Every structure is written in C-alpha cells, then in structure tokens.
A and B are shown apart, each in its own frame.
Chain A
Amino acid sequence: MNRFLLRRTLTTLITLFGIVTVVFFLVRVLPGDAAVLRAGPYADAARLAQVRAQYGLDRPLLEQYGTYLAGVVHGDLGTSTVSSSSVTYELMGRMPASLEIGLYAVVLACLIGIPLGVLAAAREGGWIDRVVRLVAAAGSAMALFWLGLLLIYFLFYRLRWFPGPVGRLPSGVDPPATITGMYTVDALLEGQPDVAWQAARALMLPVLTLVIVLVAPILKMVRGSMTEVLATDYVRTARAMGLSRREVLFRDGLRNAMLPVITAIGIVFGYMLGGNIIVETLFSWPGVGRYANQAIKNHDLDALQGFVILVGVLYVLLNVVIDICYGLLDPRIRLGRRSN
C-alpha cells in the first residue's frame, strides 16, 4: 500500500507539473502581443514598455515560466488584466457557486442512474432496459446548450414552473451571509428557509440540465458492469443458496460492480468541469465557468490560464481520490497489483 501511494503521489506531481507547463507554453504561443492586450490598443510605446516591465514580459521566456511556476506552487495564479486583482482570489470567490450546481447535479445523477442501471441489468432486454439504453445513448449525444435552452423555453417561458436564467437568486432577495458560499446551505444555517427555497428554485433548471446529461455515462457503466457481475458463478451460487433476488442484486451484485461505477463518476465530474462553462453562461450563473467565458471574451490570458489550471488540477486530484476508493473497495488493488 505504501509503495502504491508513493508511486501515485509521484505520478500525480509529475502530471500537475505537466499541466502547468503545457498551459503556460500554450498561452505563450499566442500570435498576439501580451503587452498590447494588457495595455489596450491605444497605448504608446512608453506605456507598453512600462507594462512589459510591470508584468515581467521583457524577461526571457524561461524566466517568466520559472516565476509563474513558483507562483503556482504558492497558490498564485497571476493577475487578471481586466480587474487587476488576483486570479486565485477571483476563482475562489466563484468556486462555491459552481460547486453548488455541480454537487447537486452529480449526487442526483448517481441517485437516479445507479438504481436504474441495476434494474436494467436485472431485466436485460426488458422495457426498462430498452428505455435505459435509449436514455444513455441520447444523453451521450446531447448538446448541453441546446438542452438548457429547450428546458428554459418549455419550463420557464411556456409553463413558468421555474424561474428564468437570471442567476443564483431573484433580484431583491439578499444572499445569506457567507459560510460555505453555497446559498442553499448557508441560508438554512442562518435560519432563512425562504431564502434557501428561492436559491433552490434558481438551482433547479441548471441542475436538471446537467443531470440529464450526466446520468448517461452512469447508466451505461452500471448496466454494463452489473450485467457482467450477474453472469458470474458467485452470483449464481448466492441465488442457488436461496438468497432473495434483491439481496443478490444490491449486496453481491452492486458491490462488485462498484469499481466501474466509480470510474463513471470520475468521468462525470470531468464532463461537468468542462460543461459548467456552457451551463453557467446559459443561466447567467456567477461561477468559475462563466468567469472563464468572460476571460476569453476580454482576452484576459492570466484569468483563462488560471481557470484551465484549476480544472486540470481538480481533475487530477479527483482521479487520485478515485484510485484510493478503488483500494478501499477492492483489497486486491491495495497490494499494488492493478488489473488492467
């Protein structure tokens, strides 16, 4: 286990280092002049030189890289050109809004996807199975921006069931004091159930949009691995020994099918990290995804680069967590042997 952890930590560090390096040099390949982007199109030569000196753009590329890398190690992702404040600070301020959508969506997708996938596998070829396969295929081919618009059109414009895409709270409602930054949680902690309800209502459409897409890979994985597990000898033995169908399904079956399911949850998180740009833009949600979109529009390189590094780091750390879960669920992996 220790050797496994050591090796995993090392490869993770190398990957994290790779992410920062790739993003830094990618952005520097840009044909435009970073100093012009920062100073604006009407700056004269003296102003440009001043900006170059201020941001260290007159230094050799490798030195800039070293400075940036040192900053990242200390949690400093640079300075936004537009607001002149720290990118790390701005991203952290927007993180809770993104987390709130993301966590609700992933948890809901699991709560719906896992039991449905188990049922589909238990009645392979039945009507539940067919519906599940269709939903899984449709979800994998779904365009988030279209689905979001479709739901906005029908559930907001036509039926008025949900509030429109105007952000986290309707205008006129004050956000609760910041504890976690997630409005639904904070409002409840503050004893303001009506604010919590308003925040929850604003969350419903974006979360529903994400859930429909996220549930697809979970359904696919759960159904696939359950089908495999149900065909094994030990499940047949359990059935033959008189255990009930449900017991076999959820105890022997699901537990052994969990590994691929955890992989699916990892995939889902990764998809969400990319998809949140579209969902947050669509619903005017003030999270990190919308921040990235604004950074692109404003040519705010440091902000964009900060977002991409944040997403890469989160994704890598998530995979580490998944690997640790593997070890907890499957004793064979703890010994360091991984079957691929």
Chain B
Amino acid sequence: MAFTDTVRVLRSRAPRVRGLASPRKHPMAAVGLFLLLVYVVVAIVGPAFVGDPLRTSAADALTSPGATHLLGTDRFGRDVLARAVVAARMDLLMGLVIALTAAVVGSVIGVVAGYAGGSVDEAIMRVTDVILAFPGFVLALIIVAVLGDGIPNVVVAVAVAYSPYFVRLTRSRALAEREREYVDAAALSGNPRWRIALRHVLPNSLGPAYTQATLVAGWAILDVAGLAFLGVGIQPPTAEWGVMVAEGANDVLTGAWWTALVPGALIVLLALAFQMVGDDVQGSRR
C-alpha cells in the first residue's frame, strides 16, 4: 500500500448515519418525534405545575374527571393527573436509561466477539443464545424477583434482557468491518487490539444499533410498566404508570375507568411514539 493510500485510509471516516430526512418523506417518524417531544416537555416541566402525587384524601376517592380533578382521582383520593405527570419523568427516564445501558453493554460485547473471533466469539455467542432462549419479559421478571424490588434492579433486569439483540447486531457488523482497510491501517500504526476494537471498529459498527435502541426504549417502557402491573419491581405508592394501572384495575370493573385506562393509554402512546420513529428509520435504511 502506497503511503498516500495509507494517509487516505487513516483520514477516511466511516459513513456517518444520515440525519432524518424531511417530515414529508417520513410522516410516521415525524409524528413519533413530535409525540416524544411533548412527553419530554411534560416530563421536564410538568411536575412543577401539578400537585402532590402522593396526597391522599378519603373524601375525594374515585371522583370522576371534572373541574377540580381534570383526570379524576383514584381510590385513595389522589389526583390522577398529578400522578400521571410525575410518572412521565420516571417512565421516560427509565426507558432511555435501559435502552442506553443495553446498547452500550451489548455493543461493546458484540464488537469484542466480532473482532476477536475464535473461542472468545464462540463463548460469547453461546451465552447470548442462552439468554435469548428466554422470552425477554420472563427473564426480566425472574431477575427482579431475585434481585428484589427497586428502580436500579429493574433497569439492570430489563437491560440484561435486551442486550443480546445489540450483541448480535454489532457483532455481525464488526465481522465485516474488521476486514476493512482502516483496521489494517490502525494495526500498522501500532495500535493495541483493544484500542482498535473500541476506537475504530466499534464506532463504525454502531449504525443498526441506533434504530434498535429507539425501538428498545419503547419496549423497555412497556416491560417496566408490565412488571409494575404484576407487583414486581416498582411498588405502590410510587407514581409510575404501571403501578397506577395495577392499583386502578379493580376500580375499572366498577366503572372508574380513568384510574387505570388513562395511565395505560399514556404508556401505550409513548411506546408507540418510539415505535414509529424506530420503524420508519429502519424501513428507510433497508
């Protein structure tokens, strides 16, 4: 390889992820992004505008939506709107943290497997296969049951359930990337193997992981709420959507639909927003 070639290869960067195209070309992604924006704004400034989500009032129990309580109250007389808005911050944050954790951990492991190859690769992929042998929700369920309740434990459990997806995605990209010239160039310049893997191969293998992370954020929110609905992970009286649905489920059977159906709708709409963005971007890349 001529010197100029080496310089060119060293300077060349991986193709960047293209920015989102125009809203007209991606109507689904545009709608999804708009929804996400609304949720983010509510999560950031909303809690300052609503009352105490934990204040109970026996006299106001199960008031239907109206002027004083816009979304009614639950069986303890707590304001559903206040609880739902405060929960937005927690659920959104948990979805993002879980997706990020799963993406970072999974991608690093995936790159190591793809770049190192051989027995390291074989061992990592076997473990990944075993984790993937459980439906994600069941795996998260048993991990929380073992670790005990608590927000960090839920984050770890759901992130563990989703990281294998990133291991597979990034590994298959890394397998292709390690044959590229810039990897040879980096090796010739005397970089140690770990540095090549993490500084050179990893950033160039992340492409598909970005869209996957968007989808995982939505699914993670569904899983967190689903666990809370079963009474696992996040416990009452925390203002969290899944907890709210669990607490209100019995009241729905007596007609107080707002206690459980409102927070549930907020979960589904948020998950749908992530899904729309992820789907549209994934579809356009194929």
Contacts and interface: CB of A to CB of B under 8 A. Distances in A.
B147 to A, nearest CB: 8
Contacts of B264: 143, 145-146, 149-150
B11 interface: no
Given A19-B130, A137-B279, A150-B261, A304 B142 contact: yes
Which has the most chain A C-beta neighbours within 10 Å: B131, B222, B225? B222
Given A27-B146, A149-B260, A149-B264, A308 B134 contact: yes
B134 A157 contact: no
B226 A308 contact: no
Nearest to B269: A141
B265 interface: yes
Interface residues of B, number: 48
Most buried by A among B143, B226, B242: B226
Contacts of A46: none
Contact of B230 (A137, A149, A270, A293): A293
Interface stretch (B17-25, B82-90, B248-256): B248-256
B138 A146 contact: no
B182 interface: no
Contacts of B76: none
A205 interface: no
A274 B268 CA distance: 18
B133 A146 contact: no
B256 to A, nearest CB: 10
A311 B225 CA distance: 21
Contacts of A278: 226, 229-230
A249 B222 CA distance: 36
Given A27-B146, A277-B230, A145 B245 contact: yes
A149 B249 contact: yes
**Looking at A18, A140, A152, A315, which has the most chain B CB atoms within 10 Å of its CB?**
A140
Contacts of A22: 130-131
Contacts of A273: 135, 138
B146 A30 contact: yes
A54 B268 CA distance: 47
Contacts of A146: 245, 260-261, 264-265, 267-268
> Interface of chain A, helix or strand or loop or mixed?
helix
Contacts of A274: 135-138, 141
B107 interface: no
A275 B137 contact: yes
Contacts of A152: 252-253
A141 B268 contact: yes
Interface in A240-285: 270-271, 273-275, 277-278, 281-282
B236 interface: no
Contacts of B147: 29
Contacts of A312: 133-134, 138
Given A31-B148, A145-B229, A164-B253, A315 B135 contact: yes
B28 interface: yes
A138 interface: yes
A149 B226 contact: no
B272 A141 contact: yes
A26 interface: yes
A145 B267 CA distance: 11
A49 interface: no
A138 B136 CA distance: 19
Nearest to B263: A146
Contacts of A304: 142, 145
Contacts of A293: 230
Interface in B240-286: 242, 245-246, 249, 252-253, 255, 257, 260-261, 264-265, 267-268, 271-272, 274-276, 279
B231 interface: yes
A141 B274 contact: yes
Interface string B132-163: 01111111011101111000000000000000
B127 to A, nearest CB: 8
A14 to B, nearest CB: 7
B213 to A, nearest CB: 15
Contacts of B226: 143-145, 278
A18 B268 contact: no
A178 interface: no
Contacts of A147: 268
A215 to B, nearest CB: 15
B218 interface: yes
Contacts of A275: 137
A18 B274 CA distance: 33
A137 B268 contact: no
12 contacts: A23-B142, A26-B142, A137-B275, A143-B225, A143-B267, A145-B225, A146-B261, A146-B265, A271-B135, A277-B137, A277-B141, A311-B138
Q: Nearest 6 pairs between A and B by C-beta?
A: A146-B264, A274-B135, A18-B130, A274-B137, A141-B271, A141-B272
Interface of B: 28, 126-127, 129-131, 133-139, 141-143, 145-148, 218, 222, 225-226, 229-232, 242, 245-246, 249, 252-253, 255, 257, 260-261, 264-265, 267-268, 271-272, 274-276, 279
Given A137-B275, A146-B267, 8 more contacts: A19-B130, A138-B272, A141-B275, A164-B253, A271-B135, A282-B249, A296-B230, A311-B138
